[in-house]
Amino acid sequence: MSEKPLSERQQNILEFINEYVAENGRPPTIREIGAACNISSTSVVNYNLTRLKEKGLLERDAEVSRGLRLTEKARAVYGGLWQTANDVMTNLLRIPMAGNIVAGEPIDVIEDAYDYDDAVEVSASMINGRTDDLYALRVSGDSMIDAMVNDGDIVIMRSVHEIRDGDMVAALIDDDTTTLKYIYNEGSQIRLQPANPTMEPIYVEPERVQVQGKVMMIVRQMP
């Protein structure tokens, strides 16, 4: 008995997953799939993902956020269409989430709020250099909107000791407040510059600032 062909909806879901991964370097969420394929119910999306998994076209890890992967069967059946996405998804990095950072006025660091068991997945090809010193922060606020960093986005950080003027960094001020800004060394003072014309820069003495990390990549969050 021949295998039942894919429904139009299932075909659309597979095509969207392929296109999304090729563009963003990571699989989409359930809600992103629903929005792109005009499916209002997440349960309907889940149903179709289960059918695709049963057909051997999709691997799914329900315990991992964005835990979708196109299979070799999908590539064999649909040819080169799936090549790019499959290559990306077989080389994903899991980068630990280290909490939140404010793109706005500095706020107190709350270490207890960090969840080191959480992680964000990105393509290894999108990160230059070593990967064992990377961590992720979720952005709150809009002081970096002109740098295309929006409220709710995730920034991939690298722990660094040396920085250059104009780097976007996580800056710790007076050992108890943190902020996401461009950094400039102006000799007697450090300028922490927002990327929002409605906000003023922050000026502090060099000894009061500690750079905790440099932004290497921005992971945009779909509305």
Domain ranges of the chain: 8-90, 93-219
- Is 181 an annotated catalytic residue? yes
Domain 8-90 CATH class label = mainly alpha
Task: Please check whether residue 160 is in contact with residue 211, taking contact to mean a CB–CB distance below 8 angstroms.
Answer: yes
User: 95-116 pLDDT, tens per residue?
Assistant: 888 888 887 655 444 444 444 4
Q: What is the pLDDT of residue 192?
A: 95
Torsions phi, psi for 53 (to 5 deg): -65, -40
Radius of gyration for the alpha carbons in the chain, expressed in angstroms and rounded: 21
Q: 8-90 and 93-219 share one CATH topology?
A: no
Q: Tell me, what's the pLDDT at 130?
A: 74
128-165 burial, b if ≥16 CB within 10 A, otherwise e? Answer: eeeeeebbbbbbbbbbbbebebbbebbbbbbeeeeeee
**Catalytic residue (one of 55, 123, 143, 214):** 143
CA distance readout (Å), 221 to 21, 75, 149: 14, 28, 10
Q: What is the per-residue pLDDT across 12-24, written as a single tens digit (0 to 9) for each?
A: 898 888 888 777 7
Q: 91: pLDDT confidence band, cut at 50, 70 and 90?
A: low
**Model-wide pTM > 0.85:** no
Predicted confidence at residue 23, as pLDDT, reads 76
The residues, ordered by sequence, that sit 6+ positions from 189 with a Cβ below 8 Å of its Cβ are 203, 204, 205, 206
Q: Is 143 a catalytic residue?
A: yes
CA 24 from chain centre, in angstroms, equals 9
Tell the CATH topology of 93-219: Umud Fragment, subunit A (2.10.109)
User: Which entry of 41, 181, 188, 214 is annotated as an active-site residue?
Assistant: 181
Highest mean pLDDT among 31-35, 54-58, 142-146, 201-205: 201-205
| CA separation, residue 171 to residues 50, 84, 86, 212 (Å) | 44, 37, 37, 6
Residue-level length of the chain: 223
Model confidence band, residue 131 (pLDDT cutoffs 50, 70, 90): confident
Q: What gap in Å lies between CA 210 and CA 75, rounded to an integer? A: 48
